[in-house]
Amino acid sequence: MKRNMAVSFVLLSMFAFITIGKTGPTTPPVRESLTAERLLQVDKDFAKASEAKGAAEAFALFLAEDAMQLPGGAHPLFGRKAIVENMGSGYLLKWEPKKAEVAKSGELGWTWGTYELHTKDADGKPTVRYGKYVNVWRKQKDGRWKVIVDLGNPSPPPNQP
């Protein structure tokens, strides 16, 4: 009888150990689709701020302090201050976020979309350049999402293959 109790205790302990090992910590799971929808909305708010306030001011609001930008044809820029100072003015940067995904931890995510850069040529004639972008986001201690990596590159106009 003692032997049966000992075997039962060992089996019960093993079952508990395996079950606890599979479930991991008791943190509630992140609702990924809801979080991705939220991040997509934050990127849309970022895009609206760019149109309303100008790209430099919008980037100043939505970049993390330690952000990095990987501009096409140029060296990387490190830090929000350096990125914003490099942006200049006299143009309109518009973009349309297409998709967002968030890590299961809920701490990192990315968005991608397309952009239009409206400028004027040397003769003052309006020009538009098109492209696509990826932003990597990190949730801050206060719960807000901030861009930590900004990457964009040119593409043909939307009506061209």
Domain 31-155 sits in CATH at 3.10.450.50
The reply to whether the predicted model has a pTM over 0.95 is no
- Written as tens digits, the pLDDT of the chain (161 aa) is 544 444 343 333 433 333 334 444 444 555 556 899 999 999 999 999 999 999 999 999 999 999 999 998 899 999 999 999 999 889 999 999 999 999 999 999 999 999 999 999 988 899 999 999 999 999 999 999 999 999 999 999 988 66
| Other Cβ atoms closer than 10 A to 92 | 14
- Residue 82 has which token pair? 């350096």
User: For 127, phi and psi rounded to 5 degrees?
Assistant: -130, 155
The Cα 26–Cα 50 span in angstroms is: 40
| Other Cβ atoms closer than 10 A to 102 | 25
Find, among 5, 36, 19, the residue nearest to 108 by Cα: 36
Nearest 5°: the CA angle 17, 18, 23 is: 100
The full set of domain ranges for the chain reads: 31-155
User: For 116, phi and psi rounded to 5 degrees?
Assistant: -130, 130
Residue type, position 149, single letter: V
